[in-house]
């Protein structure tokens, strides 16, 4: 049990490839075991790639998204576990419609937590990553993912809780992913301008909510992982129903990204070991 182990908990398939994927690929390459846990199957996700918006795809979306996830996991070199809950979908309208019966966001918290605790106690991760209290964005499954992950982090080491879910295990550190940063977008946008091109983030920057800037102040840990950006993009493209290869994300040359912003960012939310901040390694301070 001497190897380092990282568990990344995500709401839907494709989230793992857009949030911390290069970090995971880096640690796999360095000999750590990494497991992605997908809480839902993404069954209610919209088809966001026009080339995949076909009747035969709509009829097999659950099966296709499972295949996409398997491809992405293989590209990143990670282990993968489906927790088995049903995608809640993103409600739209005013007023918002009720969530579908039986969806993940409506499952009693104790049931979801016990299921994740079981996986934690089996895999025994030293580090767990998830979303902050706002879910990264206010999708009900992302917010629930935060709630379940934090509760499971606390419960996994408590022998009084979920005694039938395996031998207790204390996860050393809990991190939140923080990838949606204005400064990063602005740097890339400015690089397009310098090269006489129109950047992909103009509208986003124009409509930016200043309240999101607080996230930059919460960052404690920057992992240098530029070497793995191409692998990240390949994994993201494996989710063909969700990712348009002609979309804004892929307009920025890898070389620019590696030079301008070579890291992925995290917030150390909880730790059971002494830490020194800021960090450049999620495993900092951990002796397996």
Angle, helices 61-76/229-238, rounded to nearest 10 degrees: 160
158-203 per-position pLDDT tens digit:
999 999 999 999 999 999 999 889 999 999 999 999 999 999 999 9
Contact 129, 94 (CB under 8 A): no
Q: Which helix (H) or strand (E) holds 147?
A: helix 140-155
Contact 270, 155 (CB under 8 A): no
Q: Known binding site: residues?
A: 12, 15, 142
Q: Known binding site for Zn(2+): residues?
A: 12, 15, 142
223-258 per-position pLDDT tens digit:
999 999 999 999 999 999 999 998 888 999 999 999
Domains in the chain, ordered, with CATH? 5-180+216-271 (3.40.50.10320)
How many of the other CB atoms lie within 10 Å of CB of 277? 10
How many of the other CB atoms lie within 10 Å of CB of 27? 24
Query: Which tokens sit at 231?
Result: 């692998």
Contact 174, 211 (CB under 8 A): no
């Amino acid at each position: 049990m001497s190897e380092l182990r990282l568990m990344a908990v995500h709401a839907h398939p494709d989230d793992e490839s857009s949030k911390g994927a290069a970090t995971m690929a880096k640690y796999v390459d360095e000999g750590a075991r990494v497991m992605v846990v997908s809480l839902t199957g993404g069954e209610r996700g919209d088809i966001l790639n026009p080339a995949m918006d076909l009747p035969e795809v709509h009829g097999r979306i659950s099966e296709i998204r499972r295949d996409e996830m398997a491809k992405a996991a293989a590209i990143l070199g990670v282990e993968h576990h489906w927790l088995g809950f049903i995608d809640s979908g993103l409600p739209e309208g005013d007023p918002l419609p009720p969530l579908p019966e039986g969806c993940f966001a409506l499952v009693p918290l104790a049931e979801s937590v016990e299921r994740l605790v079981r996986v934690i106690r089996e895999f025994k991760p030293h580090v767990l990553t998830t979303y902050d209290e706002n879910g990264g964005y206010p999708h009900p499954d992302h917010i629930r993912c935060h709630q379940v992950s934090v509760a499971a982090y606390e419960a996994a080491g408590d022998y009084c809780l979920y005694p039938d879910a395996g031998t207790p295990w204390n996860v050393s550190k809990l991190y939140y992913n923080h990838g949606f940063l204005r400064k990063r977008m602005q740097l890339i946008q400015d690089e397009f301008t310098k090269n006489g091109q129109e950047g992909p983030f103009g509208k986003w920057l124009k409509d930016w909510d200043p309240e999101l800037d607080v996230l930059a102040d919460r960052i404690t840990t920057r992992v240098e992982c530029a070497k793995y950006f191409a692998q990240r993009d390949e994994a993201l493209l494996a989710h063909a129903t969700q990712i348009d290869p002609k979309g804004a994300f892929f307009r920025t040359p890898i070389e620019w990204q590696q030079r301008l912003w070579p890291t992925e960012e995290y917030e150390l939310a909880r730790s059971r070991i002494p830490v020194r901040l800021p960090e450049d390694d999620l495993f900092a301070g951990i002796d397996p």
